[in-house]
Structure 1
Amino acid sequence: MRWWLKARKGHTLLPLALVSFVTALYAVRDVTVLLPSITGSPQVALSLFVPVPLFAFLMAMLESRLPAAEISGVRPLTRLDNTLVTATLATAVLLSALVAGLEATAAPLTGGRNALFLTGLMLMGRAWAGQAAVMYPVAWLVTVVAIGFRGNVPRPWTVIALPADDPFAAAASLVVFALGLAAQIRSSRKTA
Structure 2
Amino acid sequence: MRWWFKARKGHMLLPLALAVFAVALYVMQDTTVLLPALVGSPRVALSLFVPIPLIAFLMAVLESRLPAAEVSGVRSMTRLDNGLVTAVVAAAVLCSILVASLEGTGAAATGGRNAMFLTGLMLIGRAWAGQAAVMIPVGWLVTVVLVGFRGNLPRPWTVIALPADNVFAAAASLVVFAIGLAAQIRSSRKTA
State the TM-score bracket (shorter-chain normalisation). over 0.9
Question: Partner of 1:39: helix, strand, or coil?
Answer: coil
Question: Partner of 2:190: helix, strand, or coil?
Answer: coil
Deviation per CA, 1:105-127: give whole Å up to 9, x if none. Answer: 11101110000000000000000
Which whole-Å CA distance do the structure 1 matches of 2:24 and 2:75 have between them? 36
TM-score, with length taken from structure 2 = 0.99
Query: Which residue of 2 is the match for residue 81 of structure 1?
Result: 81
Query: Which residue of 2 is the match for residue 4 of structure 1?
Result: 4
Question: Partner of 2:30: helix, strand, or coil?
Answer: coil
Which whole-Å CA distance do the structure 2 matches of 1:76 and 1:69 have between them? 11
Query: Which residue of 2 is the match for residue 145 of structure 1?
Result: 145
Which whole-Å CA distance do the structure 2 matches of 1:67 and 1:82 have between them? 16
| Structure 1 residue ranges, 4+ long, deviating more than 2 angstroms after superposition | none
Query: Which residue of 2 is the match for residue 36 of structure 1?
Result: 36
Which whole-Å CA distance do the structure 2 matches of 1:114 and 1:37 have between them? 21
Query: Which residue of 2 is the match for residue 98 of structure 1?
Result: 98
Which whole-Å CA distance do the structure 2 matches of 1:109 and 1:176 have between them? 18
Which whole-Å CA distance do the structure 2 matches of 1:116 and 1:59 have between them? 14
Question: What amino acid sits opposite 1:57 in the alignment?
Answer: F
Which whole-Å CA distance do the structure 1 matches of 2:139 and 2:74 have between them? 36
Which whole-Å CA distance do the structure 2 matches of 1:22 and 1:51 have between them? 10
Deviation per CA, 1:77-110: give whole Å up to 9, x if none. Answer: 0000000000000011011000000001111011
Q: Could you tell me how far 1:161 is from its partner in structure 2?
A: 0.4
Q: Could you tell me how far 1:74 is from its partner in structure 2?
A: 1.1
What 5-or-longer segments of structure 1 have no aligned partner?
Answer: none
Question: What amino acid sits opposite 2:145 in the alignment?
Answer: V
Task: Tell me whether 1:162 sits opposite 2:162 in the alignment.
Answer: yes
Q: Could you tell me how far 1:67 is from its partner in structure 2?
A: 1.3
Q: Could you tell me how far 1:7 is from its partner in structure 2?
A: 1.0
User: How many residues are aligned here?
Assistant: 192
Percent of matched pairs sharing the same residue: 79
TM-score, with length taken from structure 1 = 0.99
Which whole-Å CA distance do the structure 2 matches of 1:191 and 1:16 have between them? 28
What 5-or-longer segments of structure 2 have no aligned partner?
Answer: none
Contact 2:8–2:61, Cα closer than 8 Å, also in 1: yes
Question: What amino acid sits opposite 1:163 in the alignment?
Answer: P
Query: Which residue of 2 is the match for residue 114 of structure 1?
Result: 114
Query: Which residue of 2 is the match for residue 58 of structure 1?
Result: 58
Question: Partner of 2:44: helix, strand, or coil?
Answer: strand
Which whole-Å CA distance do the structure 1 matches of 2:10 and 2:84 have between them? 9
Deviation per CA, 1:160-180: give whole Å up to 9, x if none. Answer: 000111000000000000000
Question: What amino acid sits opposite 2:160 in the alignment?
Answer: I
Task: Tell me whether 1:25 sits opposite 2:9 in the alignment.
Answer: no
